[in-house]
Amino acid sequence: MKSLVVGLMSGTSLDGVDAALVRLEEPLHVELVAFRSDPYTPEDRARLLAAIRQGGPRELALLHAWLGERFAASTERLLRQAGVDAQDLTGIASHGQTVWHEPGRVSFQLGDPAILAERFGVPVVSDFRSRDVAAGGQGAPLVPLADALLFGHPDHGRVLLNLGGMANVTFVRRRGATDDVVAFDTGPGVAVMDAVVRALVPGATFDEDGRRAACGRPDDVVVSELLQHPFFAAPPPKSTGREVFGEACAEDLVERVRAQRPAAAADDIIATAVLLTARSVASQIERWLPHVRKAGSDVLASGGGARNATLMARLAELLPGIPVRRFDEEFFDGDAKEAVAFAFLGWRALRREPGNVPAATGARGPRVLGRVTPA
């Protein structure tokens, strides 16, 4: 039997709301029917950042409702774009917007699911991370189950690399195999890169195609210093967030480059942020996934960072002998991947099937993830 599920995602990059309409059926067939990304305005992003940094109870409560309305608006546009009626949906899976992630203690997302349930009259699955945390896990990464069951290579090993606000990897021995999946956050994705651009380039929110970084000369010394952070030495399972690799880290990077090279141009500092992400990803793959080379693996990259040509070139240089390609070269638009993954996890939750990979999160065992708000 086929099911239609909407997956909603607002990531740590704070780009906007990604909405995917997904058709699912056994045995493990997933089809992306429609996708859209509704960007946040600079004012929206400033509000989110302010709430994440210092929001009080009133601001967080209002943001919870405001995000619920934003998710509902994106869902309405998506259904209209696809020519699908809400009554044809099996459900909606809403990841929400993470405002605090403290590994092993709490992972907190906002975006009121009751608004979606009222608006569309279907069950809504939300709060995917809490159950894993309650079971002793970190609540992240949660995409590995979809990586293993849907996007692994049928014949050899594969690394699924997500370059969102944070970067994370999943190693899958072959498609469908979950017993030896290894997955973890590698550190910063585009969060530090974008924060540096916003700080140095008036009116810009990111470095399109990595053009400015391509013109800059990165500071290897500063990158080496930042890679001394304890997170990088910690073994998996592990996860992180903007609390560690966000605006404060970007400010530190800018200050360090200017202290080392007072005449450094903005492009040099932006290039340094790109190198930090590239080196952290490559070094974590080499350190914690040494079997990747033996498995004849490739790397498929998705997320906003996969559109940064300079970052992708750096990764290819730092991972010689391992093919590094974009996710959309084999599947669908890589920007839709996480929204599709959470549609898949929501579908499993409605079927009372586990959604986590304990080896990736550190949980005591498989758990059905998410709270269900009834239709």
Task: Write out pLDDT tens, residues 58-113.
Answer: 999 999 999 999 999 999 999 999 999 999 999 999 999 999 999 989 999 999 99
Specify if 150 maps to a domain: no
Give me 46's structure tokens. 């400033």
Instruction: Assess whether 24 and 130 both reside in one domain.
Output: yes
Mean pLDDT for the stretch of residues 190-217: 97
Least confident of 95-104, 276-285, 291-300: 291-300
Give me 363's structure tokens. 């949980």
In the prediction, which pLDDT does 277 show?
Answer: 98
Specify if 151 maps to a domain: no
Instruction: Assess whether 223 and 355 both reside in one domain.
Output: no
Instruction: Assess whether 76 and 161 both reside in one domain.
Output: no
Specify if 173 maps to a domain: yes
In the prediction, which pLDDT does 55 show?
Answer: 87
Specify if 48 maps to a domain: yes
- Look at residue 327 and tell me whether its pLDDT is greater than 70: yes
Give me 53's structure tokens. 């940094």
Reported as a pLDDT band with limits 50, 70 and 90, residue 52 is confident
* Residue type, position 115, single letter: I
Reported as a pLDDT band with limits 50, 70 and 90, residue 175 is very high
Instruction: Assess whether 10 and 36 both reside in one domain.
Output: yes
Mean pLDDT, all residues of the chain: 96
In the prediction, which pLDDT does 107 show?
Answer: 95
Domain assignment of residue 101, given as a range: 3-142+334-373
What would the pLDDT profile of 236-255 be if each residue is shown by its tens digit? 999 999 999 999 999 999 99
Mapped onto helix, strand or coil, the DSSP state of residue 373 is strand
Instruction: Assess whether 116 and 179 both reside in one domain.
Output: no
Instruction: Assess whether 200 and 270 both reside in one domain.
Output: yes
Mean pLDDT for the stretch of residues 212-226: 98
Please list the alpha-helical segments (H only) found in 24-160: 42-54, 57-82, 113-120, 130-134, 144-146
Instruction: Assess whether 223 and 309 both reside in one domain.
Output: yes
Instruction: Assess whether 164 and 248 both reside in one domain.
Output: yes
Q: What is the pTM of this model?
A: 0.92
In the prediction, which pLDDT does 317 show?
Answer: 98
In the prediction, which pLDDT does 27 show?
Answer: 82
In the prediction, which pLDDT does 263 show?
Answer: 96
End-of-domain residue from the set 322, 342, 357: 322
Reported as a pLDDT band with limits 50, 70 and 90, residue 148 is very high
CATH number for 55: 3.30.420.40
Give me 158's structure tokens. 């594969």
In the prediction, which pLDDT does 88 show?
Answer: 97
Specify if 328 maps to a domain: no
Specify if 91 maps to a domain: yes
In the prediction, which pLDDT does 6 show?
Answer: 98
Reported as a pLDDT band with limits 50, 70 and 90, residue 214 is very high
What would the pLDDT profile of 340-359 be if each residue is shown by its tens digit? 999 999 999 999 999 999 99
In the prediction, which pLDDT does 374 show?
Answer: 98
Reported as a pLDDT band with limits 50, 70 and 90, residue 295 is low
Specify if 34 maps to a domain: yes
In the prediction, which pLDDT does 12 show?
Answer: 86
Mean pLDDT for the stretch of residues 113-133: 98
- Look at residue 296 and tell me whether its pLDDT is greater than 90: no
Cα separation, 160 vs 143, in Å, equals 10
Residue closest to 243 by CA, chosen among 14, 53, 109, 50:
53
Question: What percent of the chain shows pLDDT beyond 70?
Answer: 100
Instruction: Assess whether 286 and 166 both reside in one domain.
Output: yes
Q: What does the buried/exposed string (b/e) look like for 100-126 if buried means 16 or more CB atoms within 10 Å of the residue's CB? A: bbbbeeebbbbbbbebbbebbebbbbb
Strand 91-102 vs strand 124-126: parallel, antiparallel, or unpaired? parallel
Instruction: Assess whether 131 and 166 both reside in one domain.
Output: no
Give me 10's structure tokens. 């607002």
Instruction: Assess whether 43 and 10 both reside in one domain.
Output: yes
Specify if 327 maps to a domain: no
Instruction: Assess whether 230 and 348 both reside in one domain.
Output: no
Domain count, the chain: 2
- Look at residue 294 and tell me whether its pLDDT is greater than 80: no
Q: Would you give the distance in Å from CA 373 to the centre of its chain?
A: 24
Residue closest to 112 by CA, chosen among 130, 129, 124:
124
Q: How many CA atoms lie within 13 A of 116 on its CB side?
A: 31
Question: What percent of the chain shows pLDDT beyond 90?
Answer: 93
